[in-house]
Amino acid sequence: MRAAAPTAAAPTAAAPPAVWLYPARSPAEPSSTRRRPIVLIHGFRGDHHGLALIAHELRDRDVWVPDLPGFGSAPPPERGLDLAAFTAHIRALCGACEAASGRRPILIGHSFGSALAAHAYAQRPDISSGLGLLSPIVQPALEGSARVLTQLTRLYYAAGAALPERLGSALLAHPLIVRGMSEVMATTSNRMTRRFIHDQHARHFSDYADRRSLADAYRVSIEHTVAEVAAELARAARPMLVVAGDDDLIAPIEAAHGFVAHLRDQHVRVDAETLTGVGHLLHYERPAAVADAIETFARTIDQS
């Protein structure tokens, strides 16, 4: 059975624009009102579509998925995009979600979204009852095993920003380059899944507001990590979830394991799951497994 299509979240004065609500679809239970909603934060050059498969699998609770500023339907702020702009957006979203549901949400971020969610949570732990990191960005991009790829990517975005408008926009959205990025990130051998991944990237990877916003967001993505706020996360002393693939070129599994071990040494409760044979696109390649991990994590928080 196909899951119901998402509906736009009811707008409120405090809510950021471009938020999609995936309502709970499980049979009503007396305890259903105690189930905390989930807020999912997408990664770089994504929008809410990228997390739709996970949202559809989370049938027992409401899921809120925004477009981040500068992507999808969300306009960038006039002053431009930086870490503070992204984290303020996430804090406002969590506040609106809590006001609408009466329950403090659980904040989950994927890839670039993991760093943004971690920073927003570290600044204000009261916005969420728990933090989940999917394919977390633990180490600076220029220090990891993919640093050569990162340098090439940096030159690509620099050229896209520096060239005249028409040429720069054509370069940034060029179908062959988008397809090449998609091929690099996809690890599944399933033809239908790969076809779906490439189709999603072709449809949504170039849905950004403008070249300046994209350049600003890219700068934030390579300059900030979840590890930067490890001390603050430890002080918050609230449950965390880390889900990572063991074949991730962008966010190596060794870094994720080290991050989890460090937090556990600081007496933080961290639920960790490694998905075998999966790379960075676990939200496309193993959405049901990711959703199961999130639901298990969320239920323990519901019961606490």
- Whether 188 is covered by a domain: the verdict is no
User: What string of pLDDT tens digits covers the 304 residues of the chain?
Assistant: 334 456 555 444 345 679 999 999 876 554 455 799 999 999 999 999 999 999 999 999 999 999 999 999 999 998 999 999 999 999 999 999 999 999 999 999 999 999 999 999 999 999 999 999 999 999 986 565 666 777 788 889 889 989 999 999 999 999 999 999 999 899 999 999 999 999 999 999 999 999 999 999 999 999 999 999 999 999 998 999 999 999 998 999 999 999 999 999 999 999 999 999 999 999 999 999 999 999 999 999 998 8
- Whether 163 is covered by a domain: the verdict is no
How many angstroms separate the CA atoms of 125 and 3, rounded?
A: 32
Could you list the residue range(s) of the whole structural domain that residue 102 is in?
Answer: 7-140+210-302
Q: 7-8 and 19-22 as β-strands: parallel, antiparallel, unpaired?
A: antiparallel
- Whether 170 is covered by a domain: the verdict is no
CATH for 239: 3.40.50.1820
- Whether 152 is covered by a domain: the verdict is no
Overall domain count for the chain: 1
> Between the CA of residue 225 and those of 112, 139, 257, what are the distances in Å?
8, 6, 15
- Whether 248 is covered by a domain: the verdict is yes
- Whether 125 is covered by a domain: the verdict is yes
Question: Could you tell me which residues come within 8 angstroms of residue 271 by beta carbon, excluding any fewer than 6 positions away?
Answer: 239, 240, 241, 242, 293, 296, 297, 300
The answer to whether 226 and 256 are in contact (CB under 8 A) is no
- Whether 264 is covered by a domain: the verdict is yes
Extended strands (E) in the chain: 7-8, 19-22, 38-41, 63-66, 106-110, 131-134, 240-245, 270-275
What is residue 2's predicted lDDT score, i.e. its pLDDT? 37
- Whether 180 is covered by a domain: the verdict is no
Q: Which two tokens stand for residue 155?
A: 């030159």
